[in-house]
A and B are shown apart, each in its own frame.
Chain A
Amino acid sequence: MTPPPADSVAAMIRPAPLRSDSKTNRDLLSVMQGAPLGYWLLLGTALLFMHIAGGIWVYQVYKGLGIAGYAHPVFWGVYIVTFVFWVGIAHAGTLISAILYLFRAKWRNAINRGAEAMTVFAVLTAAQFLGIHVGRMWKAYFILPYPNQRGLWVNFKSPLLWDTFAITTYATISILFLYVGLIPDLAIARDRATGWKKVLYTVLALGWQGSSGQWKAHNRSVLHLSGLATPLVLSVHSVVSWDFAVALVPGWHTTIFAPYFVAGAIFSGFAMVLTLMIPVRRIFGLEAYITDYHFENMSRFILLTSIIVGYAYAAEYFIAWYSGVEPEQTAFWLRAFGPYWISTWIMITCNGILPQLLWFKKLRTNVPFLFVLSVLINIGMWFERYVIIITGLSREYDPAVWGVYIPSWPEMGILAGSFGFFCTFFLIFLKLFPIVAIAEMKEISIHEKAHATEGVH
């Protein structure tokens, strides 16, 4: 018998090697390491768009709001449309994090971090548009009830003020939710990072060590934040919808607006999660964590909310006809066949008709198809807000004051810049923080391991 080669004998007498780090950690932390050229190109493009928009904004401050396309009677234009669009996008994050948490839908663990980050950046993007829209952004604090020499207070009966409270609360709670969820993952990163990143994570992880008292308080906090965020998310877009519904403009003054806007927000938010997570999964090879099952579940949500949104479109037209109110009927007739007919048909096609393809399982599991569809839904949802706001204002009660609004180049530039702003922050987040909640993925994998072991006994 030939003796075993010397090196294998050496391997036998050496002590067992230290157990390597958990595979989940290695896979998910690897997303944060290194940045290929493509990443820098994307980040550069996003930054470029953001700065161009910044330049346009400075120009607008210098010249005044006249450079926006506002023309009598339309004084709510692309800025407000884009504000509503981004607030809507922000809704999926909380829905996935909070509502699915309460329903104990464990599949959310793979996508909730990305969705929460998206929420925070979308709210921050949206909030800027209020300042851009009012023109003199430095007077934005007027909307807050602060003591002043004039002894005046804000008007709490105005939906715009409800909006202030809703949006600031939503931004605060979304940031807290994201951060609380991040703390255990920051500790994971802290234990493995070096250099300046170690300092960053050490500070942000707050000395987390996963002791029983910490997990107990953490669990309870996440549960309570979910319970609080669930009614909040439903209230925020309801309040945004009341900005319109409380006004007496034909096409706006309807009670259906709150549920219609909330469904639309969830619809567009899920589409945006798909738009972001499909490339992220592909580029960073996260197929083992974010599976087709996750995408299929999200497309089911998209299908459901698309049906609600489609029903709302139909109900609006039906009620306009059935009510017998002439301004209402005219407004809706002109939506579909008036000067803005292209926007209306884009909205109906992208939001009501195309998502019906998701009834087919083949298409629900076809990732390239989902990506294209999600982009189309984003476009459709932007046009939905455009249709509601612009057609409503341009065709009010008195035909003598009807007018046509055409978006100007500064407005479109700032709209493009908002995507740059959003993408810049999302791309930076991607490299600094775990985009998939590592501790929550382990919760699932360790449970599975425990069940498998118990099965053997």
Chain B
Amino acid sequence: MNNYHRFDCLIVGAGGAGLMAALESSKLAGTAVVTKLYPTRSHTGAAQGGIAAALSNLEEDSWENHAYDTIKGGDFLVDQTAAEILAKDAIECIYDLEHMGLPFDRTPAGKISQRRFGGHTKPNPDYDPSATPGTPNARPRIPVMRACHSADRTGHMILQTLYQQCIKQGVTFFDEFHMVDLIMEDGECRGIIAIEIATGQLHTFHAKSVLLATGGYGRIFKVSSNAYALTGDGPAIAYRHGLPLEDMEFYQFHPTGIYRLGILLSEACRGDGGVMINDKGERFMEKYAPNLKDLASRDVCSRSIYQEVRGGRGIGGRDFVYLDIRADTINRLGTSPTGGKVDSKWVESRLPDIIEFARTYLGVDPIHEPVPIQPTAHYGMGGLPTDIWGRVLRNVQGDEVPGLYSAGESACVSVHGANRLGTNSLVDLVVYGRRAGRDMARHAREVPFQPLPAKPETRSKEQISKLLSQPVKSPWIKIRDEMQRVMMDDCGVYRTAETLENARSTIARLKEQFQLVGVQDKGSVFNTGLLEVLELGNLLDLAEATVAGALARKESRGAHSREDFVDRNDEQYFSHTFASRDGENGTKVDYRPVDILWTEKDGQKVPKYPLEIRKY
């Protein structure tokens, strides 16, 4: 059979999670990576500020601190076993990356350098509950230098290093192959169908273990930090096969996106002492997060910007505020990591890329001027539900889909809960990419290849020939534009039943229109028009699941902020959403309890991480 390939382990996506899994599984089992981009184009490479691990290279820290911060940062929707694994394994993974050659910045002692990031803290040794609020000793926890970094291009270094190691290890790559379908049979995953972009031919990949590491889906929103390629292909295809998606309503808006374009300006800006200011020149985070201020978690900071803009305190009364990283400002406020003085040269050495982004895309030099910023759609906490080995779950009872794995942003382990902490996405993809790779190899060694159904590519063929044969009446781009606008306006930082209902009906209408879409390009070679339409179909399905989860969750938690239900409701919603298809056009929502850990205190069994009101 032409275009038939067989591998023990097949990995879809060549970002950090996919490459980490490939390095691991290929040690023990035949492995290939299918990727729609050249691996080094993956969006892991755009991650900037750092990757957290409690190495204690610059100050005392512990994995327990990291685990606690992760659980609190996720507004207690985090699965606690998974969070502890994340925090513990992070340390070993960082050393592994360093041994692979990752060029971390160094401390004066030659160790891996670390910086502060939002929500990463440790107990304040000088904490005094009776201290005057707002004074240093009134803070129960204080920022800690935990994010290992390589200037503000940490993700680039991770992606390059992992790809370099894949070359060294001889991992097989199918570059520029675009997945169009999963091969599901008897409730198992047995492979995938992918289109070879250069020829337009369909290929069948037969495998025992399939990993979906396809990244995020931020392109459902109008203003996003995400690459064009981030269209959630893995979760969307699984969703169409009837599998559930977990916690899709939790979508993170990063507070400091470049105005209008949404390009990310790293949280490291604030970790290194930068602050956000409003039209009156006020450091407004003092009001919303009196303890951690600009180093509060991202959901808190993004909502604060919206509040400032709504209160007429956006710059010039408009819809943006300023990020100020000038050395003078940092020195005046005493916000540098050590509290000591810094100069422009130091700022430039810590944040060279984001300074260049501001210069290029805004004509603003952050060394001398504040930078116009607004929240930008950044990261989906939700995704394919998995266990702690990356095995995809088919229901709220936790039954697996044999042979199917997911890791990285496409997965929901869940270590991010309702809101991810900065740097934890990189930790997630190395820790859980590695675990998934290990288990994929184990699985592949234990089971034989299962037969494929007859003509597994039929569904893909029909899908593509329909798109190529339907007349082009109106450009498909109009559907995408309307989806992005309605998701931004009605399912963004703030939501109500009314806005969400409008989003739901709009997406449903757009999905109907999408059924009639045709592609102008009828060719086989690099038909990127066809690929973009396939990707749009994926985005529409993920938008549908996102809105369904958001409508059903009548509380505010982490990144999900309902103006009609402003409080967290632990009685009803201390659980994960599983949204799946119900018939052709409906969505049903189910809930799975959060995994919590228990401990002994005075002979009593008590929660290890007791629920608390989340304040920064």
Asked whether A and B interact, the reply is no
List chain B positions with a Cβ less than 8 A from chain A. Answer: none
List chain A positions with a Cβ less than 8 A from chain B. Answer: none
